[in-house]
Amino acid sequence: MSEMTVSSTEVEMTGGDATAPGAAAPTGFNKYDPAEYDVKTDPNQGYKATEIKLMSFKRPHMRSFHYSWFSFFLAFFAWFAFAPLMSVIGPQLGLTDQEKWTANICSVASTVLMRFIVGPLCDKVGAKNLQAGLMVYGGVMILIAAVAVRDATSLIIMRFLIGVVGATFVPCQFWNSQLFVKEVAGAAQAIAGGWGNLGGGVTQVVMPLVYTACLTGMSEYNAWRYSFIVPGSAALICGVCMLRFSDDTPKGNISELVKANAIQKKSATSSAREGFGEVVTWVLALQYGCCFGVELTVNNMMAGYFTTRFELDLVAAGTIASLFGLMNIFARAIGGFLSDKMNKKFGFRGRLGVQFGCLMYEGIMLYIFSRMETIETAIPMLIMFSVGVQASEGSTFGVVPYVKPAATGSVSGVVGAGGNIGAVCWGFIFLFRGSMPPQDCLMIISFVVIFSALVTPFVFIKEQPGLFFSPHLTPEQRASIDKAQKATKVPTTDQEAPAEIKVNA
In sequence order, what DSSP letters do the residues of 14-43 get, joined into one string?
-SS-SPPTTSPPP----SS-GGG-SS-EEG
- The Cβ of residue 221 has, within 10 Å, a number of other Cβ atoms equal to 10
Rounded to 10 deg, the angle between the 438-454 and 408-431 helix axes is 150
Beta-carbon contacts of 42 under 8 Å, excluding residues fewer than 6 positions away, are 11, 48, 50, 181, 490, 491, 492, 493, 499
Query: What is the Cα–Cα distance from 299 to 76, expressed in whole angstroms?
Result: 10
- Alpha-carbon distance of 197 to 73, in angstroms, equals 6
Cβ neighbours of residue 158 under 8 Å, at least 6 residues apart?
141, 144, 145, 148, 149
CA gap 15, 410 in Å, rounded: 9
pLDDT at residue 502, as a whole number: 53
Q: What is the pLDDT of residue 490?
A: 43
Report how far apart, in Å, the C-alpha atoms of 62 and of each of 44, 57, 496 are: 19, 5, 23
Say what the pTM is. Answer: 0.75
How would you write the pLDDT of the chain (505 residues) with one tens digit per residue?
Answer: 333 333 333 333 333 333 333 444 445 778 889 899 999 999 988 899 999 999 999 999 999 999 999 999 999 999 999 988 998 999 999 999 899 989 989 998 898 888 888 888 887 788 899 999 999 999 999 999 999 999 999 999 999 999 999 999 889 988 998 999 877 887 888 899 889 988 888 898 899 999 999 998 788 889 999 999 999 999 999 999 999 999 999 998 887 887 777 766 666 566 667 667 788 999 999 999 999 999 989 988 888 889 888 888 878 888 898 888 888 888 888 998 899 889 888 888 999 999 999 999 999 999 999 999 999 999 999 999 999 999 999 899 889 888 888 777 788 888 988 988 998 899 899 988 888 999 999 999 999 999 999 999 999 998 888 889 888 888 877 777 666 666 554 444 443 333 344 555 4
The sign of the dihedral angle between the CA atoms of 65, 70, 76, 79 is negative
pLDDT for residue 12: 34
Instruction: Report the SS3 class of residue 44.
Output: helix
Query: How far apart, in Å, do the first and last CA atoms of the chain sit?
Result: 5
Backbone angles phi, psi at 41, to 5 degrees: -135, 165
DSSP class of 226? H
Q: Which of 163, 130, 129, 131 is nearest to 145 (CA)?
A: 163
**Residues contacting 394, CB < 8 A, separation 6+:** 186, 189, 190, 193, 194, 331, 332, 333, 334, 335, 336, 337, 338, 339, 358
